[in-house]
Amino acid sequence: MSLETILIYNESLIRQAVFAYWRRTVGVFFVPFLLAMTVWFVTQLIQHDLSWQTGAFGTVIGFGYVFSASVYVVHYKNSLAKFHDLRDSTAAFCADDRSFTIESSIGKSTLQWASVKEVWKFQNVWLLLFSKAHFSTLPVANLSPELQQLIVSSVKAAGGKIG
């Protein structure tokens, strides 16, 4: 059984997808932890603790901010560039129990479900993860319940995770 749909993208959806990816990748506890460590670091500076340990700690905090921001910025810029390459902001998605095909003005790609390592389900988007850093965005509004079930069952059958 083959199911098809037209995926409709917009910049808001791209932002939501990248933010959902960023939040899940970086973790919901990383930012509050980083902020707490920043408060501690600033307190040490106010108390004139200029030891090498405080400096090293500040450097680690700085790298935390750079890492966190770069994960979002890199994925957002890449996703937005791909979105702008789409002439009509749409892609055709066709799936059966063996494989799926995504076709747009950029090109056509057919992949086996085994290439999907994990599906991250969010309110407005699903992310098909091919590796820790590569994913495709599926707008939930364009996925029928039957197609959603096909995706979930096919990814599970191929050894992928649903999260």
Taking only the tens place, the pLDDT of each residue in 28-72 is 788 889 899 999 899 988 999 889 898 998 999 999 999 989 999
CA distance 35 to 82: 33
Sheet (strand 3-8) strand order: 3-8, 90-95, 99-103, 108-112
Alpha helices in 10-144 (DSSP H): 11-26, 30-46, 52-85
What pLDDT, in 10s, does the model give residues 89-126? 999 999 999 999 999 999 999 999 999 999 999 999 99
CATH (one of 3.40.190.10, 3.50.50.60, 3.60.20.10, 2.30.29.30) for 3-9+91-162: 2.30.29.30
The Cα angle at residue 115 between residues 99 and 16, in degrees rounded to 5:
95
The first and second tokens of residue 155, run together, are: 């990814």
Domain ranges of the chain: 3-9+91-162, 15-83
Residue 145 has pLDDT above 90, yes or no: yes
Span 67-96, average pLDDT? 92
What is the pLDDT, as a whole number, of residue 135?
94
CA atoms lying within 13 Å on the CB side of residue 4: 4
Band the pLDDT of 1: cuts 50, 70, 90: confident
Nearest Cα neighbor of 3 from 128, 118, 98 is 98
